[in-house]
Amino acid sequence: MLGRASLTRWLARVHAPELVLRARAAAGVPVISVLTYHHVAEPGPDYGFDPDVADATPAQFEAQMQVVARHCTAISIDTLLGGLAGQPLPPNPVLITFDDGYRSNLEVALPILRRLRLPATFFIATRFLDERRLYWWEAIAQLVDRARRAGTTRVALTYPTAREVDLTAAAARGQLARVVKDTPGLDVDHFVTELARAMGVPWDRALERTLADELIMTWDEVRALADAGMDIESHGHSHRVLDTMSADELHLDLGRSRQLLTSQLGRPVRAIAYPVGRSIVGRPALRDALRAAGYLIGFTNASGVNPVWRGIDPFDVARLATDRSMQAETILAQLALPPLAYTRSTAR
């Protein structure tokens, strides 16, 4: 039986994805695809930050964007909102998205997008830009890396509950990240501070600011993206998972992100990509909070495409994940034949 990679290569040799996209365009069958990126980089062995957040190397990203430019039509948030309202969509519409606010979005991705004349949407987690804080998953990665280099093999935590983590395990970062993702009411700053203390790793605001300045855009750099014609939208304020916050915390977080983006950029904010990307289907309180905060559309990490003829829930828009194992032909197969790669049931 062919594996996914082998099947993708075989389909590419017989040009099946191109034929599907041409047929879809000729038939006027609207399927909205949304590609998800975070960080464009090539992590080496001494990287120190979270290597899993780097979805593509610069060369991979350029090749993937060439596929989009050749076979699809990159669209803006305005075009997407119009399509959901019944306006005509261009052939094979693709929304290119970036989450978080990594500096590589400006320094690496933007020149490629401009060269290929592709619009994209950047979802910004505003607290980290505004306060020069390091993303909590990157703080975890830094602490794990520094503890390992110091020879620490295990860490015993007392907050939010007592647990031990084997730092020699490849899954150590993921185990610690799940604490943040899954614990209602967690004080994330306190968790990071306690993690550093338990590991015996020096950690303070000066170091965090230095690391944030290395990795995360400033407001001026976000404005440069906007001035280049890119859409800037919300990724929440604190990047806490929506359903781990109280109603008051959620109200403040959603509103603060939108208010900061609007005041800094002088343009409306309509869209949000949910931090960690969990679907809000079956969570009416979250949907009500999003609407009350002024959002018109929300993006999940529930993998799949969005066939317009089935009807699209504007607060449950599926996206297609990317990672550094994917070549350009894999992205093309995703866009043309998404069941080969992902289904909506793989939401995290």
CB-CB contact of 339 with 114 (8 Å): no
The mean-pLDDT minimum among 6-15, 36-45, 165-174 falls in: 6-15
58 pLDDT band, cuts 50/70/90, is very high
Q: What is the pLDDT of residue 4?
A: 66
Q: Determine the Cα–Cα distance for residues 220 and 119; give it in Å rounded to an integer.
A: 19
Alpha helices in the chain (DSSP H): 4-13, 16-27, 58-71, 77-84, 104, 110-115, 126-131, 136-149, 172-182, 188-199, 205-215, 219-227, 247-265, 284-293, 328-336
pLDDT above 70 for 344: no
> What average pLDDT score do residues 129-157 get?
97
266 pLDDT band, cuts 50/70/90, is very high
| Percent of the chain residues past pLDDT 70, beyond the cut | 96
> What average pLDDT score do residues 105-118 get?
99
The mean-pLDDT minimum among 194-208, 214-228, 318-332 falls in: 318-332
Q: What is the pLDDT of residue 340?
A: 59
347 pLDDT band, cuts 50/70/90, is very low
pLDDT above 90 for 303: no
The per-residue pLDDT of the chain, averaged, comes to 93
Q: What is the pTM of this model?
A: 0.94
Cβ burial 1-19 (10 Å sphere, 16+ → b, else e):
eeeeeebbeebbeeebbbe
Contacts of 301 (CB under 8 A, 6+ apart): 36, 274, 276, 277, 278, 319, 321, 347, 348
The mean-pLDDT minimum among 85-94, 220-229, 327-336 falls in: 327-336
225 pLDDT band, cuts 50/70/90, is very high
Q: Quick one: 4-132+216-346 is in which CATH superfamily?
A: Glycoside hydrolase/deacetylase (3.20.20.370)
Which has the higher per-residue pLDDT, 1 or 166? 166
Q: What is the pLDDT of residue 1?
A: 46
3 state DSSP class of 289: helix
348 pLDDT band, cuts 50/70/90, is very low
Annotated domain spans of the chain:
4-132+216-346, 136-208
Q: What is the pLDDT of residue 27?
A: 85
Q: What is the pLDDT of residue 8?
A: 74
> What average pLDDT score do residues 249-277 get?
98
Q: What is the pLDDT of residue 38?
A: 98
Instruction: Please report, as a single letter, which amino acid is at residue 26.
Output: A
Beta bridge partners, 35, equal 96, 320
